[in-house]
Structure 1
């Protein structure tokens, strides 16, 4: 059952909003009546996403690691749809690697996308957020609080995203900007699950065993939480990191270890 939210007349922009969880969030907002802008670095993904979001949707190309392209994308979005009511920053990168076999550049790539990219989006968006009442939502991960083998880069980057969430909530609250983060658990059909979980029925069964609610999540599960955080119903919620994971956040290490075992045996 979906709770119904009405975002008619509101502008929602989703960075990384062309695939996976972030596309699911954009689709939820589009169904709720929002004017949606999505941004990511590949034109083909942008075009495919816009085709699912309706004629009013705008797609722009931007790499969150490049703050000039982020600034240009925001300007283009505001020129088309007006000030931004809800901004979702969800671009992310990940791969499995032992820390002692990870190059400095590989570590840096994930920090640049996840953490520096989140800062770029927030820093350049704040001037475009609807004055007096707007919502900034980061997409973080359980690695931000749970140490996981083969995930040193992501653990470091997402811990930074969590703290960025809390700091911006302190600094920007007086402007009427609420800042929160969503921490998804295992979400079916996403690139994250293809990279970080064993594949096939045996892998699916392992994941379900680790989730107290007994199932993987859906992109709509995350989208519904994003709708709530962007709505007036969450008008007094800021500076929080909210898990949407079926209760599993502290129990995912075996999933990643099993996936890494399969990957590392092939290399």
Structure 2
């Protein structure tokens, strides 16, 4: 996808991305690299992080990674300390680490429900909390990666709906509390995105044809389309955007989740 934003839009700024080794989060990191940012990637899988850093370096960015599970507050704090030591302070944080699986509510174990809430919601809090002092110095910004489940119910997604709704309310609370310090907080809500691990997991149950029927634009997004909007929200172009949930779903929220729900129930 052709770069559409000024090449120096995030020059000399440092962006921290949790879950940054793959998928939409890596696409956001790449888009930031293309407009001059330094990158710090955080995740659990070192091989993915190494490969991702190589891709970012090839784009001309200074990039490093930290191995950390966002559920571990101590590990997350250490990752931000490393970022501060390397780059001075972070200017932006993308809270993108997430977990998901399909299961009817009556079959979700307590551990399964907790795992998704801990990764998505608690992990987002850990990253925001650990970044606070650095963001206060830089008057920086936080971008939470939410999901359509926070807005409307999807079958077999009760755990994700609870987690993502919590993420969006956390975002709004931080926008209110930290806004006076110059820290902006927003969330982005992607629709179905091609080539991501999440979509591959759902493909056998909810086909591309079903998804396309749910999206007025009639297609999946490509990761770069989500990433471009994310960069805008992280940049000075969005200097007065705070406490906003920005939906990038091709219009899916206007249609609803009925086709998804039917496909999931038919699959059993």
TM-score interval, smaller chain: over 0.9
Equivalent in the alignment of 1:4: 5
Partner secondary structure for residue 251 of structure 1 = coil
State the SS of the aligned residue for 2:207: helix
Matched, 1:185 2:188: no
3-state SS in 1 of match to 2:78: helix
Matches within 5 A, 1:27-106: 27-54=30-57, 56-106=62-112
Alignment of 1:230 onto 2:231 = no
Partner residue of 2:216 out of 212, 236, 255:
212
Q: CA RMSD, aligned part only? A: 1.7
Deviation at 1:130, TM superposition (A): 5.4
CA–CA separation in structure 2 for the residues paired with 1:139 and 1:252? 19
Segments of structure 2 that go 5 or more residues without pairing to the other structure are: none
Q: Which residue is equivalent to 2:202?
A: 196
Residue 86 (structure 1) shift = 1.1
Partner of 2:259: 254
CA contact (8 A) 2:24 2:226 kept: yes
Number of matched residues?
A: 261
Separation of aligned partners in 1, 2:109 and 2:166: 20
Deviation of residue 128 (structure 1)? 1.6
Q: Which runs of 5+ in 1 are unaligned?
A: none
Q: Displacement, 1:261? A: 4.0
User: Separation in 1 of the partners of 2:219 and 2:141?
Assistant: 29
Question: 1:253–1:53: structure 2 CA closer, same or farther, 3 Å change rule?
Answer: farther
**Could you tell me the TM-score, scaled by structure 1's length?**
0.93
Mapped pair 1:136 → 2:142 = yes
After TM superposition, give the deviation of residue 195 of structure 1 in Å: 2.2
User: Does the 8 Å contact 1:13/1:38 carry over to 2?
Assistant: yes
Structure 2: distance between partners of 1:37 and 1:205 = 36
Contact 1:96 1:260 in 2 (8 A): no
Structure 1 residue 105: Cα displacement: 0.7
Check the 8 A contact 1:35/1:56 in 2, yes or no.
yes
TM-score, normalized by length of structure 2? Answer: 0.93
Q: Which residue of 1 aligns with 2:123?
A: 117
Q: 1:258 & 1:25 partners in 2: Cα distance?
A: 30
Moved more, 235-244 or 128-137: 128-137
